[in-house]
Structure 1
Amino acid sequence: MFSGPPPPRSPLLLALLFSPLVLADDLFVDSQTLPQVLTATRLKQTPAEVPGSMTVLDSELISASGARDISELLRLVPGMMVGSINGNQPAVNYHGTNASEARRMQVLIDGRSVYRAGLATVDWSDIPVAMEDIDRIEVFRGPNTVSYGANALMAVINIITRHPADSHGTRLKITRGQRGINDFYASQGTGWDGGDLRLSLSGQEDDGFDSDRNGADYRDSRRLNRLSLAVSHDLNEGQSLDWQLNAKDGSNQRPYTYRPVFSGITDAGNNSDVVAKDYAGSVRWNLDINPEHSLYVQGSAQHWDRQQVWRACDAEVSFSPELAQLWQLNPNYTERLARNINQFTGPGAAPGTPQEMALANQVLEQWRNGASQTLCGDIDQSARESRYDLELQDTLSLSDSLRLVSGLNYRYDRADSETYFNGTLDDTTWRAFGQLEWRATEHWLLQGGAMFEDTQLIGSSLTPRFAVNYLINPRHGLRAVYSEAIRSPDMFENNVNWSYQVSNLRPSAYGQSSARYFVKTRGPGDLDQEHIRSRELGYNGYFAELGLAVDVKLFYDEITGMISEPLRNNQYIASNANSSRFRGTETQLDWRLSSADRLRLTYAFVDAEASNPLDQQLTSRNSGSAGWLRNWGHGWNSALFYYGDNALNGYRFERVDTRIAKRIAIGKAQLQLAGVLQQRLDHQPNTFVDNNYDERRVMYFSAELEF
């Protein structure tokens, strides 16, 4: 379906702009309330006023999709590349870059970042929020460091949960299906004079992919349970307090990938599964000083705990102090020596510097004197990260035509891992931000903003954004946007101190039951920030008479100072030596054909060039989705979705999802029965060669009771 380049211009846009319908007065003037979004600038704006491209996935669309995961929902966002590292590790990037390291988007839950600063990742499968608790997802498709700081390099995803006031009553839901799908959800909402509360419990299970490239069973299932508590209450007429508590506990299988370095060693082959625990809490005080002036103060605390202990075997010489010294001198020389050690039958080592050869000869002597015996021990690859965040935001209408949002933010991040950091590492970040919106005339809207950020480990930066919106009318706008954004290297990239302390060694290594493996990786410590310059031209319009919303975007983005090296403990040397360029077009169309039918189409053409081939892995030149939602009446509704990418990491992806649901009234209660069928149209692995299903289709069913 996606095979050729896009046309040089959008005929749909031209047709809409110059059709007789657009010139009709009743198309421009109507009494309907304009929808508003908040994520773009922290100001409430209509889609035509936003300084960039927005996608909103509303509750109707979320429910109709039948998606069990947030990452699957993002297939409905134009330009969003959604892949899989394995069955419990989705990979999501906007426009692409490295397929296994999704580290250039900011992801928020009700404004609270869930981007892990220590290991530069978002654990999509472990986000502690149930799909049933999500009200909508707002996606700002473009750089937005101006509003949300470093890591909002290419896009911002804001997951907005249902307000407790909209969650009164009881909801019970179970989902069962193929591939081990076994989910549940239960919530109770209540209210009192001036306050509301929602408590929800949920869980997910599935078996992941079926087999690897060799047909062997693939260890990538997941099991998780979540708890969420949301409370909102009014303190007085102008003040309110919102607070949330979230917790998640579960396990993620990991395929065992370790292979002994030294030949002739039989590996233990133990599992390397991860026990994942997440905790988060936030409290927000809202103050409405007057209709033109409001502010809030929000504090949050989060903790990520990843416990991973596995058993491995290698030769005793792996723990040789001389071999470790040799690795620090020359990793390439050391690796060649280790992997070919049986070939050195003569008196001397391979040619090298005098110091290298002296150490290598000591290692060879140890090997010949019995250090070739097999040792097995436990490796603790656990990591714990914590974040404490405090933010003040002030929103002020200076006049009928001038609005200002400004604020301060303090954040403390801490990472603790004996393997990755040889202990503990922390970072402190201060931010000051501002966004000014000036309605110069009835048609011209000028916007500018900047974020100043200073981090203890990296330093300071200033990122601006400027936008001009020409409002043909309140529902139709053209925009031109220039913005800059940064991504600070995370603790792992810049300050990694990676080595394995192996305990419970049997038999002992050089007389010790605990020893450190010879491979050790140190981060450069002086990495700079990645920097993007983005230019965008776009149109956003809503044709009220047709029920048609359209957004078209042309973009040209350049990223410099990219950190592209894979994060692995084997000659890992991070640098800012890489760059990428993305240009293309995106279109999204949402058309309510009637009160019963809704049609939704997205398409993205992304032309990517990168100095490092890894940064083109998760870029599909052509991608898109199509959806048809239908209310048949008498409680019946259906949805049909198509998703397609012509090449993600070299593999085609095409799938059709069908959902059919029936709502049944039982007294004052409502029962909804639904079935979902997902059918792959291609015959290729999903993103990586080991991600394979035995069957190209999967079915699952759900029953939901509300009372």
Structure 2
Amino acid sequence: MPLADEPAMVLTPARVSQPQSEAPASVTVIDRNLIEASGARELYEVLRLVPGMSAVKVDGNVPTVAYHGTQARDSRRMLVLLDGRSQYQPGLARVNWNDMPVDIRDVERIEVTRGPAAAAYGANAFTAVINIITRDPRDISKHTLAVQGGNNAIRDGYASAAGRTGTDAWRASLSRRADDGYDEPFEGRQLNDAKRIETLNGEWVRELDPRNTLIMQAGGSQNRLERQQEGGVQDIGIYQQDPVQKGQRAFASLQWQHAFDQHHQLQITGYGQYTRDVTDFSVCYLDPLTGQPGPGGGVLFSRELRELYLENNRDVGATFAAAQSDPDFANRYASLQSANAPFCAASALDIEEERYDLEIQDTLQMGDRVRLVSGLNLRHDRVSSDSYLSGTYDNVSYRAFGNLAVDLLRPVTLNLGGYWERDSISGQHFSPRLGLNWRAAPGHSFRYVFSRALRTPDIYEDQAHTNIRARELSSPFADNTEALLGWAPASFFITQTSPGTLKPERIRSWELGYYGQFPGLELDVRYFQEELTDLLSHALNPFEFEPNNEGRVDHQGTEAQLSWRPGVNHLLRLTGAHIHTRVNKKTEGRLAARDSASALWAWQLSQHWGLSSAYYLANDYNDNVFERLDLQVRFRHRVIDTELEWKGVVQHALNKEPVVFEENRYQEDRFWLGLAVRI
């Protein structure tokens, strides 16, 4: 950790490296030492070291990460960058932490801009920006092989290699992370929540000359997740095959960095990324009139019930009330009885997402007191889905941005930022930010930041046209689909359509903060107020679909983070947040913890032995307390030219309360042992 005469540098808030004391935002930096000391097995877990951040699993094996959390499942109000590439997926407005194409061991540094940052990154940098920066191959000199295993069938493996020849440097890694989930997540019922995730990540750097550098990155991931049964489906059928989600992801990027001189740099970046997710499930449907399995369940996939549903304004209750006197429905129901077999069908929720992005960024230092970062961006998003969209939709966006820093007086810096963008869904909009930093004394500064940002509706929110098809039918329905169900292919009678008139969600935020550096100690304190309006607060799924902008959330609170290094062998890091949240929709308060905290202590006992412990608290998530204690012991030694590291990690739940929802009882102890070999 830097001392008072070594200013801490951050890159993310204004897109340029600058002292943290001059940044127009509160920033949390989690470096490689903190990541290793945390003992975290999954990347999302280290974000509990950020004040005000929620990082929990509310659905078994699917993490939810949100800054100033509101909705528990649909966490879509924060931008996540991986080496500058947006991980915010355009189709369903989500960040999927399970299939992010990077292993935690490849991460060098994480910078979290706490507060709206749309002035630097555009729409969807709404409440915060998490910037994940991987290791530079020019800084790696060893190959690594690591394995670890523990309870709940934890079986992880990792291999990486790196090299440098002349002006070229490269690195590549391959990892696998697998476990069987939790033993009894649902009050004694054994449910499937296992997962298997593989990632591939590589980077190549060529220094063409002292002024020009090329950086190429490529990689991908694939996953298999056992998912929970959907409550709406359980009401109308019996699962024959639990949902299984399979996903693939791939990306490639190329960046050219050119230095005109030490005061003027140009950067051009282009990347493409692809994501595909399919969730398969199989159900035998209940007869809606008898409530029992039988051929009458087929009416749920009949053309006549779909027509009645549309005629009754998509009201399920009114649809079945009308069905009792509808002759076409009665005829269809009667003809199905001749099948004399239960109606079973396999279905899938599918989505494919593509993104192509080109950006030009110019950084100019004009004298000693003025610094300007400006640029242009062009992006094309394409989403294809039979189940969510019934087709393919595109969104093309154009962007221009600028961030100006001016030293008005030697101790006072004014930061002005703005981001203009236009896209096919939401039209054009502008996001501003104003920051004022006063360096009251060496190593001590005060800041005021005002910003506005928005989150634009995603393609699904704007263009939803759901249609759940029966992909595989049981006999005899598969052999005579059109005669028995009235159409082929057959589809579930419920379909939802977006009005296409939703407005962007908006946030207005201001903060007062203090950042101080003392010998061996770093402190950041922030008081903030945030007004979130025009929120899409209701569920948007085939069973519940209420698209509107009626939601509102008001946050007011204080956050603090402290790092103290009393000596080279000790590190203590503390964070805390106290937030008052007011909502007008119950769903927006489920992940809003009033008090949260973390404490991490790391002690290098000797040249070989290291010990670290972490404590996490959130009081409360949906009236439930999350509290956990972690312990890690490490032993490092050398055998000739090979370094070996042995470690043991225990994650101990300090209570047995559910996580967010009553049925999610995932507070279970976990432990594993690991070995890493570096040559």
Q: TM-score, normalised by structure 1?
A: 0.90
Matches within 5 A, 1:222-241: 222-241=195-214
1:535 aligns with 2:510: yes
In structure 2, the CA distance between the partners of 1:136 and 1:240, relative to structure 1 (3 Å rule), is same
- Matched residue, 2:632: 659
Of residues 480, 501, 521 in structure 1, which corresponds to 2:496? 521
Of residues 669, 672, 676 in structure 2, which corresponds to 1:697? 669
Amino acid at match of 2:672: Y
In structure 2, the CA distance between the partners of 1:357 and 1:184, relative to structure 1 (3 Å rule), is closer
Amino acid at match of 1:465: R
Shift of 1:418: 0.7
Equivalents in 2 of 1:503, 1:598: separation in Å? 56
- Matched residue, 2:106: 133
Of residues 408, 413, 419 in structure 2, which corresponds to 1:440? 408
Matches within 5 A, 1:172-187: 172-187=145-160
Amino acid at match of 1:685: P
In structure 2, the CA distance between the partners of 1:90 and 1:83, relative to structure 1 (3 Å rule), is same
Amino acid at match of 1:568: N
Map Cα deviations across residues 303-340 of structure 1 (whole Å, 9 max, x no partner): 011122222233121123232122123356433554xx
- Matched residue, 1:188: 161
**Number of aligned positions between the proteins:** 658
Shift of 1:213: 2.9
CA contact 2:4–2:442 (8 Å) conserved in 1: no
- Matched residue, 1:629: 602
CA contact 2:5–2:443 (8 Å) conserved in 1: no
Equivalents in 2 of 1:47, 1:515: separation in Å? 59
Equivalents in 2 of 1:372, 1:414: separation in Å? 44
- Matched residue, 2:293: none
Equivalents in 2 of 1:621, 1:147: separation in Å? 29
Amino acid at match of 2:311: L
Matches within 5 A, 1:299-698: 299-314=270-285, 315-330=297-312, 333-335=315-317, 338=320, 350=321, 360-370=326-336, 374-506=342-474, 507-508=476-477, 509-511=481-483, 514-544=489-519, 547-693=520-666, 696-698=668-670
- Matched residue, 2:291: none
In structure 2, the CA distance between the partners of 1:104 and 1:430, relative to structure 1 (3 Å rule), is same
* 2:48 counterpart SS class: helix
- Matched residue, 1:203: 176
* 1:308 counterpart SS class: strand
In structure 2, the CA distance between the partners of 1:571 and 1:198, relative to structure 1 (3 Å rule), is closer
CA contact 1:530–1:560 (8 Å) conserved in 2: yes
Amino acid at match of 1:330: N
In structure 2, the CA distance between the partners of 1:47 and 1:360, relative to structure 1 (3 Å rule), is farther
Shift of 1:499: 1.3
- Matched residue, 1:148: 121
Matches within 5 A, 1:52-131: 52-131=25-104
CA contact 1:211–1:691 (8 Å) conserved in 2: no
Matches within 5 A, 1:45-56: 45-56=18-29
Map Cα deviations across residues 201-248 of structure 1 (whole Å, 9 max, x no partner): 111001112224342212111111111111111111200001111111
Of residues 137, 141, 153 in structure 2, which corresponds to 1:168? 141
* 1:567 counterpart SS class: coil
In structure 2, the CA distance between the partners of 1:31 and 1:87, relative to structure 1 (3 Å rule), is closer
Amino acid at match of 1:704: A
- Matched residue, 2:290: none
Shift of 1:440: 1.0
Map Cα deviations across residues 452-484 of structure 1 (whole Å, 9 max, x no partner): 011111111011000111111342110011000
Equivalents in 1 of 2:239, 2:655: separation in Å? 37
* Identity over aligned pairs, percent: 35
Q: Which runs of 5+ in 1 are unaligned?
A: 1-28, 339-349, 351-355
CA contact 1:211–1:690 (8 Å) conserved in 2: no
* 2:306 counterpart SS class: helix
Amino acid at match of 2:624: Y
Equivalents in 1 of 2:140, 2:234: separation in Å? 56
* 1:272 counterpart SS class: strand
* 2:416 counterpart SS class: strand
- Matched residue, 2:292: none
In structure 2, the CA distance between the partners of 1:505 and 1:52, relative to structure 1 (3 Å rule), is same
Q: Which runs of 5+ in 2 are unaligned?
A: 286-296
Equivalents in 2 of 1:99, 1:452: separation in Å? 30
- Matched residue, 1:9: none
* 2:238 counterpart SS class: coil
* 1:215 counterpart SS class: coil
* 2:409 counterpart SS class: coil
- Matched residue, 2:13: 40
Equivalents in 1 of 2:540, 2:4: separation in Å? 55
Equivalents in 1 of 2:610, 2:323: separation in Å? 74
Amino acid at match of 2:39: G
Equivalents in 2 of 1:329, 1:528: separation in Å? 27
Equivalents in 2 of 1:89, 1:572: separation in Å? 22
Equivalents in 2 of 1:588, 1:372: separation in Å? 69
Map Cα deviations across residues 492-526 of structure 1 (whole Å, 9 max, x no partner): 11211111111332332442563111100001111
CA contact 1:84–1:688 (8 Å) conserved in 2: no
Amino acid at match of 2:492: Y
Shift of 1:704: 0.8
Equivalents in 1 of 2:4, 2:43: separation in Å? 34
Map Cα deviations across residues 635-666 of structure 1 (whole Å, 9 max, x no partner): 11111110001111221111010111011111
- Matched residue, 1:11: none
In structure 2, the CA distance between the partners of 1:74 and 1:372, relative to structure 1 (3 Å rule), is farther
Equivalents in 2 of 1:491, 1:49: separation in Å? 37
Equivalents in 2 of 1:164, 1:107: separation in Å? 22
In structure 2, the CA distance between the partners of 1:321 and 1:62, relative to structure 1 (3 Å rule), is same
In structure 2, the CA distance between the partners of 1:454 and 1:372, relative to structure 1 (3 Å rule), is farther
* 1:324 counterpart SS class: helix
CA contact 1:139–1:157 (8 Å) conserved in 2: yes
Equivalents in 1 of 2:472, 2:639: separation in Å? 60
Map Cα deviations across residues 109-151 of structure 1 (whole Å, 9 max, x no partner): 0111111110111111111101111001000000000111111
Equivalents in 2 of 1:77, 1:623: separation in Å? 10
Amino acid at match of 1:72: E
* 2:500 counterpart SS class: coil
CA contact 2:47–2:55 (8 Å) conserved in 1: yes
RMSD of Structure 2 on Structure 1 (CA) = 1.9
In structure 2, the CA distance between the partners of 1:429 and 1:30, relative to structure 1 (3 Å rule), is closer
* 1:363 counterpart SS class: helix
In structure 2, the CA distance between the partners of 1:657 and 1:447, relative to structure 1 (3 Å rule), is same
Deviates more, 1:548-557 or 1:575-584: 575-584
